[in-house]
Structure 1
Amino acid sequence: MRLNPYGEDPVRLATSLTTSPPLTAEELTARCVGAGVVLEQAATADDLAEVNVFLGRWLRVVEASNPQARAALLNELLAESSAYPRLTDHAGDGWHIHYRDYGLPVARLLRALISVGTALHLTGRGMHRLSRCELTECRNPFADFSRGGQQRYCSPTCANRDAVRRHRAKRALAS
């Protein structure tokens, strides 16, 4: 069985690229390959610039205040980024569905992967499953892949830091 390449991995890649943006086209290429994206060509400086603009727009989806606004913003990205679904075995590793045209530059490929991946994530797990970390000094974006769907922090480190802060505040009030 082959898992859909548009699911969890592109959303994780988007959060990684927004949390720690690549500084060069070479770094963008390496991060994509490291995330399992099959690239037909290396990223260029133009790709890097386009990806950064796209990720700024993707963050608006993360920050949307309600499901309707989130869907409207994501629908704009989908309309600009994806193509009709098609079966492919381009990498010789099994048939799967692509929601993008062939031969795209890296930026357009990432826009399609991340847009469709985000749509599948939100419709499959819940429209509330994108957010920013609740730790005031962090605010990194994250996708909630937890079983219960109640994640509030981008990492266990941030969750622990906030728990310690709340515990100390409670102790200070008690004394």
Structure 2
Amino acid sequence: MVPLFGWMLLSHPTDLGWRLATTGVFTLAILTDLADGRIARRYNLVTDFGKLWDPAADKALTGMAFVGLSILHELPWWVTIVILVREWGITLLRALIKKYGVMAANRGGKLKTLTQSIALIMYLLYLPAMPLWFQWIAWILMGAAFLLTVVTGLDYLRAAARLRREYLLTHKEAQ
């Protein structure tokens, strides 16, 4: 859905009808991802592949939203850059430390994703056309998403270092 979403957002950025449809596609994609995770946990279908790559799919969708909104000058580029550096950096970190163990998403990361998703949905509704109170809520949510993104990124760095350290200690003792 990412290419369709990106095309819809960038091809008709100020048409309210298109923006509603674009927001619907984004929301549907986020909800199907949520449903996929719940189904996997409920029926014990969780895999290491899913733990590693499901977050990457989330990053592709939200990344397109952040970049698209910045291209349209509806979200500052510095917000998009900091968030994407964190998102893809942590995804790369997960892949690099896989030899020490799988680092699945934690509660903070899930709260970050939820906050980002709600803020993005509000922005995608074409924020300039919304009442001022709605814009304020969207800005506050985006600020919270930004802070959660940075804080949880630091938390993942600590968790990766701990995972590596524990692996090395365990394997050193086994020798």
TM-score of the superposition, structure 2-length normalised?
0.28
TM-score of the superposition, structure 1-length normalised?
0.28
Identify the structure with the greater strand proportion.
1
Identify the structure with the greater helix proportion.
2
